[in-house]
Amino acid sequence: MIDHTPWTPWHKVVDLTDDIKTGELSLAIFAADLYDVLLQKGKRQIYEDPAQFFALTYPTYNLRELARDVVLRIADKNEKAVCQLELTYGGGKTHTLITLYHLVSDPENFPDLPSVQEFIQHIGMSPPKARVAAVKFDKLDVEKGMEVTSPQGETRWLKQPWNVIAFQIAGSEGLRLLHAEGEDAERESAPAPTRLIISIRRGFRNGLISPLTSCPLIECT
């Protein structure tokens, strides 16, 4: 008969947070939403604030591998242009997308945390800054559209997915590039793919990496 186990129980290895110890942890905290993170309205700081997010994010091997693929593609150092996540509900897809967002949205102001250093060391370089576009179809109302923010901080309600993407990447200029008359307004019909790419590449020429010309950090759900 074995008197003791050959390993240490997990609860003696992991330092549990107070809300877990007291049983006060709300399940609602696990409902991550990339859309809320992009809008930065303070609904869930645990996801919106990079310091709080990375403090509670464990960089698993697969997460570090995906981050490496995406960042190196953005930096034009590999050819993996499409990343497809296939996981069950609650498998971590949204948490992964939020991780990628925080890694490239403001890399000059990374929080000084061990998890951030693990990502950077695994990637082999500091991530370049990129503009991120997200299309959440469960937020895209047929009548009202969805609220999106431009790189300059302007907020609009837009209905068509191509306008939603262009505005997040290039703001009003992106809408004008798509519009047939060059107006700062929605384009109702779908543009030719080249027109959308031209709109997004404008951000690249302005000094920021373009998601579609690199690795698409675009969530379409």
pLDDT in tens, 183-198: 888 988 878 766 666 5
Both 29 and 90 in one domain: the answer is: yes
pLDDT band at 83 (very low <50, low <70, confident <90, very high): confident
Over the stretch 111-124, which tens digit does the pLDDT of each residue have?
999 999 999 999 99
State the maximum Cα–Cα separation within the chain, in Å, rounded to a whole number: 83
Percent of the chain with pLDDT over 90: 39
Both 74 and 99 in one domain: the answer is: yes
Half-sphere exposure of 31 (CA within 13 A, CB side): 6
Both 104 and 194 in one domain: the answer is: no
Both 14 and 119 in one domain: the answer is: yes
Q: What is the dihedral of CA 152, 174, 189, 82, to 10 degrees?
A: -90
pLDDT band at 208 (very low <50, low <70, confident <90, very high): very low
Given 99, 123, 147, which residue is the final one in a domain?
123
Q: Which of 121, 101, 115, 137 is nearest to 60 (CA)?
A: 115
Both 119 and 145 in one domain: the answer is: no
If one counts the domains in the chain, the total is: 2
Both 175 and 215 in one domain: the answer is: yes
Both 104 and 143 in one domain: the answer is: no
pLDDT band at 217 (very low <50, low <70, confident <90, very high): very low
Assess contact for 199 and 177: CB atoms under 8 A. yes
Both 104 and 142 in one domain: the answer is: no
Q: Which of 23-27, 80-84, 122-126, 141-145 has the highest mean pLDDT?
A: 122-126
Residue 147 lies in a domain: yes
Residue 112 lies in a domain: yes
Both 79 and 37 in one domain: the answer is: yes
Percent of the chain with pLDDT over 70: 85
Residue range of the domain that includes 211: 134-220
Given 103, 123, 143, which residue is the final one in a domain?
123
Mean per-residue pLDDT, 150-167: 92
Other C-beta atoms lying within 10 Å of the C-beta of residue 49: 16
- The pTM of the whole model exceeds 0.95: no
